[in-house]
Amino acid sequence: MSVRVRYAPSPTGLQHIGGIRTALFNYFFAKSSGGKFILRVEDTDRERYSDESLDDLYQTLEWLGIKWDEGPVVGGPYGPYIQSERFDIYKKYAEQLVAEGKAYYCYCTPERLEKLREEQTKNKSEYQGYDRHCANLTAEERAELERQGIKPVIRLKVPTEGKTTFHDVIMGDITRKNKDISPDPILLKSDGFPTYHLANVIDDHLMGITHIMRAQEWIPSGPLHVLLYQAFGWEVPTYCHLPMVMGKDGQKLSKRHGSTAVREFREKGYLPEAIINYVTLVGWSLDGSTEFLSKEQLEKCFKIENIHKNPGKFDYKKLDWFNSQYIRMADDERIASLMTPYLVKAGFISDPPSEQEEEKIKRLVKPAKERMKVISDIVDLSRFLFVDEPVTDENMYIAKGSDLENTKVALEKGGKILFDMLRSGEAEEKIEEALMNLANELGVKVNGVFQPIRVAITNSQVSLPLFDSIALLGLDVAEARLKRAVNMIKEK
């Protein structure tokens, strides 16, 4: 059996980490199994549908380098792959179930259904849901209701006795009593729109989907979908419900934890390979220890059996670490091109950059790669090169464990040591040793000397490496800034 899996998002919002994790698991399982990865757009929720969401879907997968074998744009033998273009198919199969006595037309008005819900709630009825009022209407009764102009929906006949079981690769056998399944759910709405359940099952069958890999939140829908497969007489695909993506607090990942939309991560300057690597490890592992896996490696080694049963925790700090490592491993030319738009937006360089500015960016890449967690960090890290905003708050110069008096000495004496040795061509290691000796003399930690010097030269406590910063500024400019800070601190 050739593996065929699908990613079937609803374009009602931006692609988020949970959804993309589902897409990656499906994609890598397909590739590692020599199968096909199908993209299907489930756009039947027209009230929440947006073109922006659809564009974001395509752009996100393109940015990640995830190419679908069949689906919108690329086509395929089982199209169309957009549900709003398949309404005739859903109508045909829904009516087939009615003809076979497995579904029926329901003429209940929204008002009646609302009143039913209110009564069930008020009476705290054990039975919640549709009361099958139209399940046994005669042909005459249906004709009269249609004569009144009432457009019916089509409901599935759910058995009231027995149980429905399906097997899940991760969770094992899942069983639910039929009486606990949503009673006779709507399959086809009165306007001809299918519900999620009908469209999903029909599409998965007609598109030859062999494995359904989706979030565990869809487990409650499993028994109903199995009943639909059985009603049509179709083989049930293999189910694999994926572990939830949680925040560090153990709650489902949401905006309260931080960014969840992939677009936001992209705008902040995360690299696609870092997103792919880290997100794939949220609920899956190769061997419990291997951390760095390229997209090409995952296409070969991904195994469905290695998906975890328990929820995966999304750690923003861990993602930052992954991204910083990928930035360091990336080609300098690529990082330069990625940094440029942020520098342009900040007003530091022109658009397009001049030859002089391009040269400055090239010189900036190597030291920046050592400090950036995300590409957008370059704005704060390099601000001192383009904007001179001296720090006037004395507390910014004072390192933890030091004080104002030691800071004054560190600036004046340490600054003289630094620039005298730089001008005489001493090696960086020798200069660092001399500054560490000064720290010992003052009885402070090394940062008690380096921090005030760094703040004086870069106007920030967080910056590029000190010697790189001086080289980028030039000795004269850097020394002038340090002397300015010395004079300012002396006045305190």
DSSP letters along 467-485, please?
Answer: HHHHHHH-HHHHHHHHHHH
pLDDT band at 45 (very low <50, low <70, confident <90, very high): confident
Q: How many domains is the chain partitioned into structurally?
A: 4
In tens, the pLDDT along 146-155 reads: 999 999 999 9
Structure tokens of 283? 């609920």
Do 218 and 229 belong together in one domain? yes
In tens, the pLDDT along 400-454 reads: 999 999 999 999 999 999 999 999 999 999 999 999 999 999 999 999 999 999 9
Q: What is the pLDDT of residue 46?
A: 86
Query: HEC profile for 375-409?
Result: HHHHHHHHHHHHCCCCCCCHHHCCCCCCCHHHHHH
Please, what is the average pLDDT of the chain?
95
Do 108 and 199 belong together in one domain? yes
Q: What is the mean pLDDT of residues 193-210?
A: 97
User: What b/e sequence results for 333-346 when a residue is b if at least 16 CB atoms lie within 10 Å of its CB, and e otherwise?
Assistant: eebbebbbebbeeb
In tens, the pLDDT along 255-271 reads: 888 889 999 999 999 99
Domain range holding 178? 86-242
Tell me the C-alpha to C-alpha distance, in Å, between residue 304 and each of 28, 31, 241, 440.
9, 12, 11, 57
Q: What is the mean pLDDT of residues 91-99?
A: 98
Quote the DSSP letter at residue 298.
Answer: H
Do 153 and 222 belong together in one domain? yes
Which residue bears the tokens 């497995």?
102
Residue at 325 is within a domain:
no
User: What b/e sequence results for 394-420 when a residue is b if at least 16 CB atoms lie within 10 Å of its CB, and e otherwise?
Assistant: beebbbeebeeebbbbbbbbbbebbbe
Residue at 319 is within a domain:
no
358, with CB counted inside 10 A (0-12, 13-18, 19+), is middle
Q: Is the pLDDT of residue 1 over 80?
A: no
Give the domain-ending residue among 200, 221, 242.
Answer: 242
Q: Is the pLDDT of residue 85 over 70?
A: yes
In tens, the pLDDT along 275-330 reads: 999 999 999 999 999 999 999 999 999 999 999 999 999 999 999 999 999 999 99
User: Annotated catalytic, 255?
Assistant: yes
Taking a C-beta distance cutoff of 8 angstroms, is the pair 184, 157 a contact? yes
Do 265 and 181 belong together in one domain? no
Angle between helices 17-32 and 51-64 (to 10 degrees): 50
Do 31 and 134 belong together in one domain? no
Taking a C-beta distance cutoff of 8 angstroms, is the pair 59, 48 a contact? no
Taking a C-beta distance cutoff of 8 angstroms, is the pair 250, 315 a contact? no
Taking a C-beta distance cutoff of 8 angstroms, is the pair 283, 246 a contact? no
Beta strand segments in 206-272, E: 211-215, 238-242, 245-246
Distance CA 387, CA 390 (A): 9
Q: What is the mean pLDDT of residues 95-108?
A: 97
Residue at 114 is within a domain:
yes
Q: What is the pLDDT of residue 492?
A: 66
Tell me the C-alpha to C-alpha distance, in Å, between residue 204 and each of 198, 221, 238, 239, 251.
10, 14, 11, 12, 31
Strand, helix or coil at 187? strand
Q: Is the pLDDT of residue 127 over 70?
A: yes
Q: Is the pLDDT of residue 205 over 80?
A: yes
36, β-bridge pairs: 4
Do 107 and 226 belong together in one domain? yes
In tens, the pLDDT along 355-392 reads: 999 999 999 999 999 999 999 999 999 999 999 999 99
Distance CA 402, CA 391 (A): 18
Taking a C-beta distance cutoff of 8 angstroms, is the pair 277, 322 a contact? yes
Beta strand 312-313 with 245-246 is parallel
Q: What is the pLDDT of residue 402?
A: 93
In tens, the pLDDT along 230-258 reads: 999 999 999 999 999 999 888 999 888 88
Do 414 and 368 belong together in one domain? no
Q: What is the mean pLDDT of residues 154-168?
A: 96
Residue at 322 is within a domain:
no
**CATH number of the CATH domain containing 55:** 3.40.50.620
Structure tokens of 150? 């009432």
Give the domain-ending residue among 208, 242, 276.
Answer: 242
Closest C-alpha to 10, from 282, 203, 281: 203
Do 146 and 270 belong together in one domain? no
Q: Is the pLDDT of residue 65 over 80?
A: yes
Do 338 and 356 belong together in one domain? yes
Distance CA 387, CA 384 (A): 5
Beta strand 4-7 with 36-39 is parallel
Q: How far apart are the first and last CA of the chain?
A: 79
Phi/psi of residue 66, each to 5°? -95, 110
CB count, 10 Å around CB of 479? 20
Residue at 318 is within a domain:
no
Give the domain-ending residue among 254, 285, 313.
Answer: 313
Phi/psi of residue 166, each to 5°? -140, 155
Residues 6+ apart with CB under 8 A from 123: none
Q: Which of 163, 179, 255, 492 is catalytic?
A: 255
Residue at 434 is within a domain:
yes
Q: What is the pLDDT of residue 336?
A: 98
Distance CA 284, CA 293 (A): 12
Do 79 and 197 belong together in one domain? no
pLDDT band at 122 (very low <50, low <70, confident <90, very high): confident
Structure tokens of 220? 């409650």
Do 404 and 275 belong together in one domain? no
Residue at 103 is within a domain:
yes
Residue at 107 is within a domain:
yes
Which residue bears the tokens 């489902």?
252
Residue 286 amino acid letter: L
Do 91 and 235 belong together in one domain? yes
